[in-house]
Amino acid sequence: MKAESYPCPLPGGAAASEYALVFDAGRKHRVLIAPALFDEGHKLRRFTVEVMRRLDGSGIDSVLPDLPGCNESEQDLALIEPEDWRMALDAAARHFGATHVLAIRGGGLVLPEKLGGWHYAPVKGASLLRTMLRARILSAREAGREESVDALMEQGLQMGLELAGFSLSGEMLRQLNTLVPGKKVGITALEHELVGGGALWLRAEPDEDAEQADALAAVIAVGIGA
Amino acid sequence: MDTTDQKLRAILSDVLGLKPGQADSFTAETGLFGDLPELDSMAVAGLLTEMEDRLDIVIDEDEIDGELFESYGSLLAFARSKLDAA
């Protein structure tokens, strides 16, 4: 496992260098990971890397790129739209010569154009957004302030909104609310039940689960036929 | 234990990272929010969204108050009332 970078296109035509975690031994099969988004990205990162470790053991290379505005990225998330993430994943796919994609949760809402592969535990953008709006309303209430979903969205669509520590632009909120996991040719949806165990993105305290990582990596390795 | 009860225990198991069967010991009096410091606002929000998905209900933010999470019994009663109303 090593840290690398890839040239990531930015809105307005500029480019940035973004970080990527890779298992790269120049092998034939190379899986691009489209990571889970927002809070789920943090909760599932360790699980994601554990899946990559197992793919490595099965003779499969993999790359986990940072999306602009996320993780180690120096870009301002408040200037980013979902389409920028799709372009970032396209760029990472080209740079690393990916042969397949494995999208995790919300990562499947911004799938790169040309790769076939898998989407683990698909989720609607509106569900991710609703959970973050709720978390904000609940913590505001604990602090003695009343907020509502409708008022927050109205304000957010015009001026952007901070949710669960993430600064989201009006355009990000608008698109996120409408993005649904597509029935894309070549992409197989993998419901969480196939992997089994408790859903790690729901866990109040981030955790990992070796059996779940084994199960997901096995599905990918068998699917690739490595 | 009916289906709603089972589904709710399964969701709480996911959120709290309980082992299979561990949530079977929950009774109506088992305390939730106040007794479980790991249930922060993000965890509670995720729990509510998951309840909507798995129980096929819609929860309005106005319906969420501290009493809802006081005990397992109060959360289950709320889920059942939503299903009856649906």
Model pLDDT, residue A12: 83
User: Is residue A50 within 8 angstroms of chain B, CB to CB?
Assistant: no
In chain A, the number of structural domains is: 2
The one-letter amino acid at A207: D
Q: Which residue of A has its CA nearest to B42?
A: A135
Chain A nearest C-alpha distance from B11 (Å): 8
User: Is residue A78 within 8 angstroms of chain B, CB to CB?
Assistant: no
Instruction: Using CB atoms, pick whichever of B13, B17, B45 lies closest to residue A134.
Output: B45
Model pLDDT, residue B18: 87
User: Is residue A131 within 8 angstroms of chain B, CB to CB?
Assistant: yes
Residues A138 and A70 reside in one and the same domain:
no
- Is B81 inside any structural domain? yes
DSSP characters for A60-104?
Answer: -EEEEEPPTTSTT--S-GGG--HHHHHHHHHHHHHHHT-SEEEEE
Average pLDDT over residues B16-29: 90
Q: Is the pLDDT of residue B35 over 80?
A: no
CB-based contacts of A203-208 (< 8 A; 24+ apart in sequence): A203/A43, A203/B14, A203/B15, A203/B16, A203/B17, A203/B43, A204/B15, A204/B16, A204/B17, A204/B36, A204/B38, A204/B39, A204/B40, A204/B42, A204/B43, A205/B17, A205/B38, A206/A42, A206/A43, A206/A46, A207/B17, A208/A46, A208/A47, A208/A50
Q: Is the pLDDT of residue A219 over 80?
A: yes
Q: What's chain A's average pLDDT?
A: 95
Chain B nearest C-alpha distance from A134 (Å): 5
Number of CB atoms found within 10 A of residue B36's CB = 16
Model pLDDT, residue B22: 87
- Is B22 inside any structural domain? no
Task: Tell me the per-residue pLDDT of A31-68, one tens digit each, with 9 for 90 and over.
Answer: 999 999 999 999 999 999 999 999 999 999 999 999 99
Q: Is the pLDDT of residue A166 over 90?
A: yes
Task: Tell me the per-residue pLDDT of A116-126, one tens digit each, with 9 for 90 and over.
Answer: 999 999 999 99
Residues A58 and A86 reside in one and the same domain:
yes
- Is B10 inside any structural domain? yes
Average pLDDT over residues B35-42: 80
- A15-23 vs A61-65, strand pairing mode: antiparallel
Model pLDDT, residue A94: 97
Residues A9 and A53 reside in one and the same domain:
yes
Determine whether the interchain pair B44/A164 forms a contact, defined as Cβ–Cβ distance below 8 Å.
no
Q: Is the pLDDT of residue A73 over 70?
A: yes
CB A111 within 8 A of CB A101: yes
Task: Tell me the per-residue pLDDT of A177-208, one tens digit each, with 9 for 90 and over.
Answer: 999 998 888 999 999 999 999 999 999 888 89
The model's confidence at residue A226, banded by pLDDT at 50, 70 and 90, is low
Model pLDDT, residue B1: 77
Residues A54 and A160 reside in one and the same domain:
no
pTM: 0.94
Instruction: Using CB atoms, pick whichever of A134, A139, A201 lies closest to residue B48.
Output: A134
Number of CB atoms found within 10 A of residue A61's CB = 22
Residues A220 and A113 reside in one and the same domain:
yes
- Is B25 inside any structural domain? no
- Is B21 inside any structural domain? no
Residues A41 and A103 reside in one and the same domain:
yes
Q: What is the ipTM of this complex?
A: 0.88
In chain B, the number of structural domains is: 1
Q: Is the pLDDT of residue A95 over 90?
A: yes
Instruction: Using CB atoms, pick whichever of A142, A148, A198 lies closest to residue B61.
Output: A148
Model pLDDT, residue B21: 86
Residues A12 and A95 reside in one and the same domain:
yes
**Residue B34, domain extent:** 3-15+30-85
Best interface-test mutation with B: which of A131, A147, A176, A193 has the largest number of B CBs within 10 A?
Answer: A131
- Is B23 inside any structural domain? no
Residues in chain B whose Cβ is within 8 Å of chain A: 11, 13-18, 36, 38-50, 53, 61, 64
CATH (domain of A66): 3.40.50.2300
| A window 203-222, beta carbon within 8 A of B | 203-205, 207
**Residue A78, domain extent:** 2-123+182-224
CATH (domain of B9): 1.10.1200.10
Task: Tell me the per-residue pLDDT of B43-86, one tens digit each, with 9 for 90 and over.
Answer: 899 999 999 999 999 999 888 887 888 899 999 999 999 999 87
- Is B78 inside any structural domain? yes
Residues A103 and A18 reside in one and the same domain:
yes
